[in-house]
Amino acid sequence: MVYQGLASKFSSLMLFAVVDFVSSDLEDVAQKCSLSYKALVAVRRVLLAQFSAFPANGADLYEELKSSTAILSTGIPSLDKLLDSGLYTGEVTELMGAPGSGKTQVCLSIAASMSLGLKQHVLFLDSTGGFTASRLYQMLQAQAEDEEEQLEALQRVQVTRVFDVYEMLRALQELRDSLSQQVLSSTGPLKVVLIDSVSAVIYPLLGGKQSEGLALMMQLARELKMLAREFSLAVVVTNQVTRDSSAGPLKPALGRSWSFVPSTRVLLQSKEATWEKTNTQRVASLAKSPRQPTGIQVVLDVGSGGAQELSPVTPTQGL
């Protein structure tokens, strides 16, 4: 922004950075550079406008949020109710549960309804090898009759396999690059990113003597929150659960440091307590939310049509 001539004059005065210039005494600079005071004030105003952070008032922020946030329906009415109408862009939503609790099924169901119903492009980052296209296809077939529509929907779901944290960070970086260049090409308007799962790539790094694991987890956390915020994306992540002791309650994995990342957390559990009674029903409970009271539960069926609503919200159901 500073004209070439000015730049050389400034450097002779040891003003190398914007900060140096802005904080210097303009009268002093005007004298030493033999430039007009008015010109320097104009330059400073431009630099300040471009580089400083302006305090914004709450009302402005709210207006901005209202215009940039979208609420995307998950396609499962009862889950939408749990999430206060659906997935909010600009936020990270977490699905947590034990193995077999249905996290991947719910993610696939969300991908299916977003790409088919809302005609949105969806990015699915798979770190577990659990993404099965034929299952997604099965869900699409249950929702739409027209084969061409089904195939189109399949094409809107982009799947990237990332098996360690570095690959995941690389994939998120590529996403950021393509979004900031606003490359419409084949990806089209992207609003939803599903990551199944974050714990799979973080767990191998935690514990032991390596302290880098925590730093990498925080880097991933930062990337996800920034992506959601800057590009108004709805980010969905899946996480494991752990227990303190064999009879203790289930709690989300990855610890307290990760817990601030998702604004909303949903716990998925099988309706039956043991594996001996096989069933397709799952209970989704709200564990953390900025808008709803926690503890609300709904029952989902992860059967052939995809995760579906089974019954309205009734806290006394079954458990």
Partner 1 sequence: GQRQLLPLAPALRARLVAAGFQTAQELLDTGPCGLSKEIGISKEEALEALQVVRQECHSDATQTAGAPGTSRKCTALELLEQEQAQGFIITFCSALDNILGGGVQLTKITEICGEPGVGKTQLCMQLAVDVQIPECFGGLAGEAVFIDTEGSFMVDRVVDVATACVQHCQLIAEAHQEEDHLKALETFSLESILSHIYYFRCRDYIELLAQVYLLPDFLSEHSKVRLVVIDGIAFPFRHDFEDLSLRTRLLNGLAQQLIIVANDHKAAVILTNQMTTRIGQSQSTLVPALGESWGHAATVRLIFHWDNNQRLATLYKSPSQKESTIPYHITPHGFRDVQPPAVTQNPEGTELNPRKRPRREEEK
Q: Which residues bind partner 1 (CB under 8 A)?
A: 98-100, 104-105, 111, 124, 127-138, 151, 154-164, 166-167, 171, 197, 199-201, 203-212, 240-243, 246-247, 253, 273-276, 278-280, 303-304
Closest CB to partner 1 among residues 32, 135: 135
Shortest distance, position 207 Cβ to partner 1, whole Å: 3
Q: Which two tokens stand for residue 181?
A: 């260049």
Closest to partner 1 by CB, 158 vs 289, is 158
**Shortest distance (Å) from residue 68 CB to partner 1:** 28
Which residue lies nearer to partner 1 by CB, 38 or 170? 170
Q: How far apart are CA 33 and CA 27, in angstroms?
A: 10
Residue labelled with tokens 């399949």 = 154
CB of 83 or CB of 299, closer to partner 1: 299
Measured CA to CA, the distance from residue 224 to residue 239 in angstroms comes to 14
Transcribe the chain into DSSP letters: ---HHHHHHHHHTT--SHHHHHHS-HHHHHHHHT--HHHHHHHHHHHHHHHSPPP--HHHHHHHHHHH--EE--S-HHHHHHTTSSEETTSEEEEEESTTSSHHHHHHHHHHHHHHTS--EEEEEESSS---HHHHHHHHHHH---HHHHHHHHHHEEEEE--SHHHHHHHHHHHHHHHHTT--TTT-SEEEEEEE-HHHHHGGGSSSS--HHHHHHHHHHHHHHHHHHHTT-EEEEEE-EEESSTTSPEEETTHHHHHTS-SEEEEEEESSSSTTS---EEEEEEEE-SSS-TT-EEEEE-STTSSEEEE---TTS--
Question: Measured from the CB of residue 101, what is the shortest distance to partner 1 in angstroms?
Answer: 9
**Which is nearer to partner 1, 100 or 189 (by Cβ)?**
100
Measured from the CB of residue 234, what is the shortest distance to partner 1 in angstroms?
A: 18
Task: Tell me how far apart the alpha carbons of residues 290 and 206 are, in angstroms, rounded to a whole number.
Answer: 28
C-beta of 156 vs 288, nearer to partner 1: 156
Q: Minimum distance between the CB of residue 155 and partner 1, rounded to whole angstroms?
A: 5
Q: How far is the CB of 294 from partner 1 (least distance, A)?
A: 22
Shortest reach from residue 248's CB to partner 1, in Å: 10
Cβ 107 to partner 1 shortest distance, Å = 11
Comparing CB distances to partner 1, the nearer of 25 and 145 is: 145
Please say which residue, 15 or 217, places its beta carbon nearer to partner 1: 217
